[in-house]
Amino acid sequence: MTNRTFTMIKPDATLNGSTGGILGMINAAGFRIVAMKMVHLSAAKAGEFYAVHSERPFYGELVEFMSRGPITAAILEKENAVEDFRKLIGATNPAQAEEGTIRKKYATSIGENAVHGSDSDENAAIEGSFFFSKLEQF
């Protein structure tokens, strides 16, 4: 079944010039971009997006990192999009990410790991609508 996932190219990747390379890997893996924009999140907005992690010890670092520079937010469509995109990005910690994954190539640490990918269809819909109205999804 064709479905959708949500991604962000995170500030580390934006600031080191990796946005184009990451979008190229996403395209080469067969995802169709149905919405996309660059946004510089405020700390408050980054905290809201990651509210589910608010009790975790790394929450403060995560909010600081995600509001450090612009991100590229996008909704992607493909058969089996959520699961296939998680495979394409690789493990949260780049030291454990497989060869050929985005995080293996572009991430530097467990916190600064270049990309986000939704972990379920339900979260993909919630996260996509955090950034995009219906009119901005094609």
Q: Check: CB of residue 130 under 8 Å from CB of residue 11.
A: no
Q: How far apart are CA 120 and CA 62, in angstroms?
A: 21
Output the smallest distance, CB 34 to ligand GDP, in A. Answer: 21
Instruction: Give the integer Cα–Cα distance in Å for 74 and 67.
Output: 17
For residue 130, state whether it binds ligand GDP (rule: CB under 6 A): no
CB 113 within 8 A of CB 62: no
Q: Which of 110, 121, 123, 125 lies at the binding interface for ligand GDP (CB under 6 A)? A: 110
Question: Does 40 participate in catalysis according to the annotation?
Answer: no
Task: Kindly state whether residue 61 participates in binding ligand GDP, applying the rule CB under 6 A.
Answer: yes
Catalytic residue among 4, 10, 78, 116: 116
Tokens 């996309």 — which residue?
Answer: 36
The helix/strand/coil state of 28 is helix
- From 12-20, 41-49, 54-62, 77-85, span contacting ligand GDP (CB under 6 A): 54-62
Is 58 a binder of ligand GDP (CB under 6 A)?
A: yes
Tell whether residue 62 is a contact of ligand GDP (CB under 6 A): yes
Q: Among the candidate windows 25-33, 58-66, 72-80, 125-133, which touches ligand GDP by CB under 6 A?
A: 58-66
Q: Is 75 exposed, middle or buried (0-12, 13-18, 19+ CB in 10 A)?
A: buried
Instruction: Check binding of 113 to ligand GDP (CB under 6 A).
Output: yes
Contact call for residue 111 and ligand GDP (CB under 6 A): yes
φ, ψ for residue 119, nearest 5 deg: -105, 0
Q: What is the DSSP letter of 50?
A: T
| Interacting residue ranges for ligand GDP, rule: CB under 6 A | 58, 61-62, 92, 110-111, 113, 116, 119
